[in-house]
């Protein structure tokens, strides 16, 4: 895991309303049932056109992949009853952190998700 340094800050004037909207859409797609595919499609289309959406998409995809790995491990640990406690905690964390990400995207900021493995 990389050090928890925040992503480079972009001036709020550098982020357009369209970029903020697409950032919000990427997070909302995670809540409505498209956790990897929705943000991945937007990120792949817009990453070369917008530094903000590139940072937002990378952070969100890293978060989603990391927490799916954690959920898979917790699922495997259900056989020794530890995962029974971990799975709901991970699910709640994913929902709460995604909502925090939506609020940050609405402000034109890139939220740095905790406990995320930086792969992209």
pTM for the full predicted model: 0.87
Angle separating helix axes 83-106 and 17-31, nearest 10 degrees: 160
| Confidence at residue 14, expressed as pLDDT on a 0 to 100 scale | 86
**Residue 22: per-residue pLDDT:** 96
Q: What is the pLDDT along the chain (120 residues), one digit of tens a residue?
A: 445 566 666 665 689 999 999 999 999 999 998 989 999 999 999 999 999 999 999 999 999 999 999 999 999 999 999 999 999 999 999 999 999 999 999 999 999 999 999 998
Give the pLDDT confidence score for residue 8 in this predicted structure: 61
Quote the pLDDT of residue 4.
Answer: 57
CA distances from 40 to 43, 77, 89, 99, 107 (A): 5, 29, 25, 18, 21
Q: What are phi and psi of 92, to 5 degrees?
A: -65, -40
């Amino acid at each position: 895991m990389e050090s928890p340094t925040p992503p480079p800050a972009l001036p709020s004037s550098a982020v357009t309303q369209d970029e903020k909207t697409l950032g919000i859409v990427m997070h909302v797609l995670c809540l409505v049932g498209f956790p990897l595919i929705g943000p991945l499609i937007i990120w792949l289309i817009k990453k070369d056109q917008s530094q903000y959406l590139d940072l937002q998409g990378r952070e969100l995809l890293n978060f989603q992949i990391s927490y799916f790995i954690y959920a898979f491990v917790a699922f495997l640990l259900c056989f020794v009853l530890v995962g029974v406690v971990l799975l709901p905690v991970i699910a709640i964390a994913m929902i709460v952190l995604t909502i925090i990400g939506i609020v940050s995207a609405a402000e034109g900021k890139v939220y740095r998700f905790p406990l995320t493995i930086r792969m992209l």
